[in-house]
A and B are shown apart, each in its own frame.
Chain A
């Protein structure tokens, strides 16, 4: 479907971008007001796209200026892309609310550096995310990823301290390495086929060494940006050092974009890339799950623990490749389970980072061993942390449980037992690191522990995020038709 409704896709990209321009052009007193002014229409556009895609059971597309690819650019929302756009919009809204406290422009000043940067970057990041979910050619996707990286990196060092600057630089440099790999792959593809558009490449791609190298370069570069073990070096310091709302967005959304692109390269360029490569990706995922869960167990600081848990949870995503191997991979449990893991981890992790921020605010530190009294100081936040923990452990009711059951079912059905065992072992380790925190937080504070109670209204936000992760636990345990919309026809409409 295209035409008038297709313009919604442009709105989803341009509304947040307009906000950035407006912030520079007409410096209003408070950039957060502008951000919240633009939020409802953008959300409405995204939801409308998702509804139209669901109603018509077909992808919604829009060709810019009426020029069809390869000359022009096409935007296209399929079921999976639309679902991820809605997820991003909801999380950005809730995290934005949680940031109102820390990043409010002080009264009486026309602008302040930190709030201005945060809100401008948040809008840029949103626009970039939507572009990743909508773009249909490898180069536009490259641009989207770069925009995303450049919006995400400064968020790490908003406070300007030396250690966060170092973390941000590390992030930037490794992301650039990833970009370079990706770009090399794109160049190889363009050299071989003279085309970059998915729909065209899908028809003309051959099975030769150059193509294999190109795909490997692109996927490798994207893995560096997703942070899978052992190329995760940048993630823990960056995600742990950023201010809590920024950490939430980085861990929940930013790393999902390159992963979604890996999914698109894998499933949309050619139907199936063979068992050895799928198993290699899954093996890296498995190593991520096991080693980073163990590392999370041993962290001293809460935010570092959550960051290591992110690398572990990203590992689950890579398990979907050997599980979605039929001719119609998007109708398998592996596909639905993998995408559900993206969504439920996003909500759970956002909830955890925001909750951890409030706990740290209440106690004045985030050392896990000294968390006693946290349940008294910020009870709702600790509760939200525990609810989000359910999703990470894969216990019902939670989206994480459904995702893991689907992945395990896929593994059992195809008799790939090692995948089932890794998922279960990862759940046990996750239970370890979640309960370690909850156990300490529930203990009574000793004498002399200074506690600053947190307003309940702010604690409602991590709870809302955690409840989203919980509600996803009520989706049926079977492949979702919605996530397959627009996939079977890779060819242009």
Chain B
């Protein structure tokens, strides 16, 4: 086994070994202490093993790990945020009687979320994707409240639905191949497949659900806010990226499919604006952050669509670069909400970095957001798409200013010093979010860092902010006239069908009771035999 292979394997193995170790009561008692260490092999792998590959099990069973550039970017960012959030959780969750259970779900989600970035064959991808999807349920529903139960239920229903879409898509992709093909091999057969349209629709549904593309976003504003703070950071920062890597890995990005590219762009841009519009009506900072994630993932989908329309070979790398920026910034913002809640509201040293982080999502010059947006917009080849993407940044500005106003009112009024266990991980992730994109810019995008200081780049990233700030003034003025929209917006419509579903269930039960009566069952058997006899006669 090569060193790179060993690193890849340990990325998955260490968190799972930790889960197994939780069988022992003395490990369970200090399970929270494990959390910061679990992602470390992943971090090392992202730094030293790009290009590495490992065949864990040969054909025909096949389990192959490999690390390409998009995978490495997201793996590194995710491992970093998992480490920071893990340190944060050690303080935040201390004294929680269910801490051990929380830690087990955390480790499982972590293993799955890192796994999606490094597996290369279809069956293993499905396995780790299911692992991250389903384990996140434990984080969503950790607090035993009615709100968490509802969020957990809706999350689970949609997650399972997404799994079903993806399973069918994967089976159709692999249909021509024997056994379990590599993702790349299966993808090569997609263009020209008689089921191309169906497969792409299923993939966009399955992965779009994880990313929160409208109208499949409804679970996110419910699920992300109810989780404990560090878990919200992981869910909104990392877990949604399973959908991003899915689209990067499974869509034929470099072939050039103009129609599907434009569809994805349209869907993404609609999501980006829709989430801003609903987000500004929300009154809880974590909910606003969740809507912001929906909006940002819409932007990523739009960019992916733009790249796919023209078959740009850089599409995956640039989308991953943007996702890395969002991962760290959103993680830091969620952790920061916890810091302000613990008593940093009046303090400038908390609010200033929070403002910088928040506006980074809108592309504030010199921040990671400006870099990521500049690079990603290179994929938007048509003017309309590019203009709308810039307008989306203005929308993000409004949403983030709204968030800052809410978070400023969120903490306790008396300024107390939050514990170092919360502040240091938050600060670490915040600094990393600022630095990482600068360090990676040239390697990934080919732009020299100096480009970002040029007038063109500065202007491109400034005007949406200015426009957004102006719009925010309007919101402040007339915001009280906005309707109040419940968290999860259109999910309420879906929930309205509950009585009808219950009635359907009752009807099925009644039918079953009738069918289980002797004369009916006997007659049914006779009918089956006669029908079968007739069918056999017809068929032969």
User: Which of A60-68, A76-84, A205-213, A353-361 makes up part of the contact surface?
Assistant: A205-213
B477 contacts the other chain (CB 8 A): no
Docked complex: A422-473 residues within 8 A CB-CB of B: 424-425, 427-428, 431-432, 435, 439, 442-444
B191 contacts the other chain (CB 8 A): no
- Residue in chain A with minimal CB distance to B60: A476
Q: Bound complex: CA of A278 vs CA of B535, how far in Å? A: 8
Do A212 and B508 touch (CB < 8 A)? no
Give the shortest distance, in Å, between A119 (CB) and chain B (any CB): 32
A274 contacts the other chain (CB 8 A): yes
- Residue in chain A with minimal CB distance to B130: A395
Do B517 and A233 touch (CB < 8 A)? yes
Contact of B525 among A220, A294, A435 (CB under 8 A): A220
Contact of A396 among B123, B160, B505 (CB under 8 A): B123
Known contacts A177-B522, A231-B521, A284-B528: A213-B171 contact under CB 8 Å: no
Do B127 and A212 touch (CB < 8 A)? no
Give the shortest distance, in Å, between B135 (CB) and chain A (any CB): 12
User: Which of B68-76, B175-183, B258-266, B356-364 makes up part of the contact surface?
Assistant: B175-183
- Residue in chain A with minimal CB distance to B526: A220
Do A277 and B505 touch (CB < 8 A)? no
Q: Bound complex: CA of A432 vs CA of B62, how far in Å? A: 30
CB contacts (< 8 Å) of A408 on chain B: these are: 167-168, 171
Contact of A295 among B161, B172, B512, B530 (CB under 8 A): B512
Docked complex: B360-410 residues within 8 A CB-CB of A: none
Looking at B180, B508, B530, B535, the one whose CB has the most chain A CB atoms below 10 A away is: B535
A224 contacts the other chain (CB 8 A): yes
Do A396 and B127 touch (CB < 8 A)? yes
B485 contacts the other chain (CB 8 A): no
CB contacts (< 8 Å) of A181 on chain B: these are: 525, 529
- Residue in chain B with minimal CB distance to A405: B171
Docked complex: A130-181 residues within 8 A CB-CB of B: 174, 177-178, 181
Known contacts A181-B529, A216-B532, A274-B539: A395-B524 contact under CB 8 Å: no
Contact of B540 among A230, A274, A420 (CB under 8 A): A274
Do B532 and A233 touch (CB < 8 A)? no
CB contacts (< 8 Å) of A275 on chain B: these are: 539
Q: Bound complex: CA of A382 vs CA of B149, how far in Å? A: 19
A203 contacts the other chain (CB 8 A): no
A276 contacts the other chain (CB 8 A): yes
A409 contacts the other chain (CB 8 A): yes
CB contacts (< 8 Å) of A371 on chain B: these are: none
- Residue in chain A with minimal CB distance to B515: A230
Do A233 and B521 touch (CB < 8 A)? yes
Do B525 and A224 touch (CB < 8 A)? yes
Do B171 and A231 touch (CB < 8 A)? no
Q: Bound complex: CA of A17 vs CA of B141, how far in Å? A: 52
CB contacts (< 8 Å) of A397 on chain B: these are: 127
- Residue in chain A with minimal CB distance to B524: A230
A273 contacts the other chain (CB 8 A): yes
A477 contacts the other chain (CB 8 A): yes
CB contacts (< 8 Å) of A215 on chain B: these are: 532-533, 536
A33 contacts the other chain (CB 8 A): no
Give the shortest distance, in Å, between A430 (CB) and chain B (any CB): 9
A297 contacts the other chain (CB 8 A): yes
B339 contacts the other chain (CB 8 A): no
Do A280 and B161 touch (CB < 8 A)? no
Do A476 and B61 touch (CB < 8 A)? yes
Contact of B535 among A217, A280, A291, A443 (CB under 8 A): A280
Q: Bound complex: CA of A408 vs CA of B525, how far in Å? A: 28
Give the shortest distance, in Å, between A49 (CB) and chain B (any CB): 26
A298 contacts the other chain (CB 8 A): yes
B442 contacts the other chain (CB 8 A): no
Docked complex: A276-299 residues within 8 A CB-CB of B: 276-281, 284, 291, 294-295, 297-298
CB contacts (< 8 Å) of A432 on chain B: these are: 157, 160
Do B521 and A217 touch (CB < 8 A)? no
B518 contacts the other chain (CB 8 A): yes
Give the shortest distance, in Å, between B229 (CB) and chain A (any CB): 22
Contact of A420 among B126, B171, B174, B534 (CB under 8 A): B171
Do A396 and B161 touch (CB < 8 A)? no
Q: Bound complex: CA of A435 vs CA of B135, how far in Å? A: 12
CB contacts (< 8 Å) of B348 on chain A: these are: none
Contact of B531 among A236, A280, A295, A431 (CB under 8 A): A280
Do B60 and A276 touch (CB < 8 A)? no
B538 contacts the other chain (CB 8 A): yes
Do A274 and B536 touch (CB < 8 A)? yes
CB contacts (< 8 Å) of A219 on chain B: these are: 529, 532
- Residue in chain A with minimal CB distance to B533: A216
Known contacts A181-B529, A395-B130: A428-B161 contact under CB 8 Å: yes
Do B536 and A233 touch (CB < 8 A)? no
Known contacts A216-B530, A396-B123, A412-B171: A233-B518 contact under CB 8 Å: yes
Do A405 and B167 touch (CB < 8 A)? yes
Known contacts A396-B130, A409-B174, A428-B164: A477-B536 contact under CB 8 Å: no
- Residue in chain A with minimal CB distance to B129: A396
Contact of B505 among A224, A273, A298, A444 (CB under 8 A): A298
CB contacts (< 8 Å) of B536 on chain A: these are: 212, 215-216, 273-274, 276-277
Docked complex: B486-540 residues within 8 A CB-CB of A: 505, 508-509, 511-512, 515-518, 520-522, 524-525, 528-540
Docked complex: B128-153 residues within 8 A CB-CB of A: 130, 134, 141, 144, 149, 152
- Residue in chain A with minimal CB distance to B536: A212
Q: Bound complex: CA of A181 vs CA of B505, how far in Å? A: 33
Do A295 and B509 touch (CB < 8 A)? yes
- Residue in chain A with minimal CB distance to B506: A298
- Residue in chain A with minimal CB distance to B538: A276
Do B521 and A230 touch (CB < 8 A)? yes
B163 contacts the other chain (CB 8 A): yes
Q: Bound complex: CA of A275 vs CA of B520, how far in Å? A: 27
Give the shortest distance, in Å, between B495 (CB) and chain A (any CB): 16
CB contacts (< 8 Å) of B518 on chain A: these are: 233
Contact of B172 among A178, A209, A277, A412 (CB under 8 A): A412
A193 contacts the other chain (CB 8 A): no
Q: Bound complex: CA of A111 vs CA of B304, how far in Å? A: 74
Q: Bound complex: CA of A461 vs CA of B529, how far in Å? A: 40
Do A277 and B535 touch (CB < 8 A)? yes
CB contacts (< 8 Å) of B101 on chain A: these are: 442
Give the shortest distance, in Å, between B130 (CB) and chain A (any CB): 5
Looking at A275, A297, A427, A477, the one whose CB has the most chain B CB atoms below 10 A away is: A477
Q: Bound complex: CA of A230 vs CA of B535, how far in Å? A: 18
Give the shortest distance, in Å, between A476 (CB) and chain B (any CB): 4
Can you list 20 A-B pairs with a CB-CB distance of less than 8 A?
Answer: A181-B529, A212-B533, A212-B534, A215-B536, A216-B529, A216-B532, A217-B533, A220-B532, A273-B536, A276-B535, A277-B539, A284-B528, A294-B508, A298-B508, A397-B127, A408-B168, A427-B167, A439-B141, A444-B144, A477-B179
Residues of chain A having any CB pair with chain B under 8 Å: 174, 177-178, 181, 207, 209, 212-213, 215-217, 219-221, 223-224, 229-233, 236, 273-281, 284, 291, 294-295, 297-298, 393-397, 405, 408-409, 412-413, 420, 424-425, 427-428, 431-432, 435, 439, 442-444, 474-478
A-B pairs, top 8 by smallest CB distance, nearest first, are A274-B539, A216-B533, A220-B529, A476-B60, A233-B516, A276-B535, A277-B535, A212-B536
Q: Told that A178-B525, A212-B534 touch, could you supply 16 new A-B pairs with CB distance under 8 A? A: A174-B521, A207-B540, A216-B530, A216-B536, A230-B520, A230-B524, A231-B521, A233-B521, A280-B532, A280-B535, A409-B174, A412-B168, A420-B171, A444-B144, A474-B61, A476-B61
